[in-house]
Structure 1
């Protein structure tokens, strides 16, 4: 039987493994392995890519392709660096990009957000990632892809990112919903942060939507109706602008992708996230679960 794409396939947000299998040989398709793992996970993303990746995939190094001038982890790179690195990977204008990772749906969303930040819309996350691809028996390879240079133009979309000053202002005035993707224990300040030296807790007034709460078992994203229910159950007012946050701006992008999937277009990502907020003693911190609204 021919492979049938999922009715939820959207080449600007999320595509299924069936969709990718059907389009794998398209000349203008570019696949990126954006695997990245938390410190202490004992997983090596580059080694895993070298051992097995989806045919034609390039490795997107989230830590290297970042703003190396910043002391914060993997901050969004300057436009010029993004363009030059992607061009060297043979990714450019006119390409449909599909990003995946080795966890299912985790760090790939960060690269989806980076492309959006740079004004590139034809980019989607592979739903379920490499684990689902391999579980279904699709092919992998261990050979590096043949690279052909491709021109890339970029137009940064500044409304998709927020800095610490903007987040502090929005949180204080209640102008936006700050949505934290970390687990409940870290959000409440009951579990230590994986990065040393950070305070425990969360941005005052933030809502907690752990990134895995928007996923099904197996690492695929829930359908839009279920996603909306997750946000509403966490007390998120979806009529307000949303600012997503997490530990270092990776899983915050999973929530951004989920918001985009439910049609909530007025969102941005706090790039510094808790790696920044938790470092500064003069910024307020709350502990405990999110407080109910008066």
Structure 2
């Protein structure tokens, strides 16, 4: 199963989609993923103002399993747990979801990527809350339970640490350059990057207004870094959140052979047997 909706849409497309779905009598789920590593964003920011009818989804508890060194800080949840979270958010089989946040699209991108990986029709809203020019609501939306069922995470969308290490794919690191180079490491056990990985910070997918670049602009960016149609690309970051941003951007640019390493650097750096490289891209 593959999603029919483009991975990234803007506000005019969202409005058109809402009108279309309403005319068809089909639901459109708006999902709000406010999140920050330091806890400064969450349900309280959602309640301060969100898109009409949007439902809050918690990244730490609903889009990730408990952290552990062997799987990283944000492992993918068990399929049955993720399905339960989607039902709690009111998501129904065959429906369409648009996901947004109030930052750079990374938290929202995590959920949009998860949904698309499982074949659900979903997109991230370019520019997020900052691009929305309509009214906001402050109620805690509690939808009727959805009916989605559990789906296994597909191997064609996910890479293991061993597959990253194999060297068959182009490995892309979505973190900030200083973390990639090993100059700083505020969270994970060791500083540096996967040997051979190239650095494509997810922030480079956005323009000065915080909106995604066009598919053509994204394609040029990735091709300049060595991404090719005839070679698989594996993306990682600190814990599998911002890497999803790169994965969606790659899909938007027309690259189909893309997998995400969910454990990312938090898993890799916790294993003393895994080698670490420092410095700029060779």
TM-score, length-scaled by structure 2: 0.90
Alignment partner for residue 182 of structure 1, among 172, 175, 181? 175
Secondary structure of 1:179's counterpart equals: strand
Structure 1 residues 179 and 195, CA gap change in structure 2 (3 angstroms): same
Query: How many Å apart are 1:231 and its aligned residue?
Result: 1.4
My pick for the range that moved more, 137-146 or 282-291, is 137-146
CA displacement 1:162-205 (0-9 Å, x = unmatched) = 12122222x3xxx1010000111111112x22215x21111011
Q: Do 2:240 and 2:263's aligned partners in 1 also have CA atoms closer than 8 Å?
A: yes
Q: Do 2:205 and 2:218's aligned partners in 1 also have CA atoms closer than 8 Å?
A: yes
> Using the alignment, how far apart are the partners of 1:68 and 1:219 within structure 2?
30
Unaligned runs of 5+ in 2: none
> Using the alignment, how far apart are the partners of 1:264 and 1:176 within structure 2?
13
Query: How many Å apart are 1:18 and its aligned residue?
Result: 1.4
My pick for the range that moved more, 228-237 or 251-260, is 228-237
My pick for the range that moved more, 226-235 or 200-209, is 226-235
Partner of 1:140: 136
1:211 aligns with 2:202: yes
Alignment partner for residue 202 of structure 1, among 185, 193, 197? 193
> Using the alignment, how far apart are the partners of 2:144 and 2:250 within structure 1?
34
Query: How many Å apart are 1:75 and its aligned residue?
Result: 1.2
1:282 aligns with 2:273: yes
Q: Do 1:117 and 1:158's aligned partners in 2 also have CA atoms closer than 8 Å?
A: no
CA displacement 1:76-120 (0-9 Å, x = unmatched) = 111111111111221120211000011042211111111123332
> Using the alignment, how far apart are the partners of 1:105 and 1:146 within structure 2?
23
My pick for the range that moved more, 17-26 or 61-70, is 17-26
Partner of 2:56: 59
Partner of 1:166: 163
Secondary structure of 1:213's counterpart equals: helix
CA displacement 1:35-66 (0-9 Å, x = unmatched) = 22233xx6222210011111111111111012
Partner of 1:193: 185
Secondary structure of 1:230's counterpart equals: helix
Count of aligned pairs = 270
Secondary structure of 1:162's counterpart equals: coil
Partner of 1:4: none
Q: Do 1:13 and 1:125's aligned partners in 2 also have CA atoms closer than 8 Å?
A: yes
Partner of 2:218: 227
Query: How many Å apart are 1:224 and its aligned residue?
Result: 1.6
Partner of 1:5: none
RMSD, matched Cα: 1.8
1:45 aligns with 2:42: yes
Partner of 1:236: 227
Alignment partner for residue 240 of structure 2, among 232, 237, 249? 249
Partner of 1:12: 6
Structure 1 residues 23 and 146, CA gap change in structure 2 (3 angstroms): farther
> Using the alignment, how far apart are the partners of 1:154 and 1:183 within structure 2?
34
CA displacement 1:262-291 (0-9 Å, x = unmatched) = 111111000000111112221111111111
> Using the alignment, how far apart are the partners of 2:88 and 2:212 within structure 1?
31
Q: Do 1:200 and 1:287's aligned partners in 2 also have CA atoms closer than 8 Å?
A: yes
> Using the alignment, how far apart are the partners of 1:223 and 1:23 within structure 2?
19
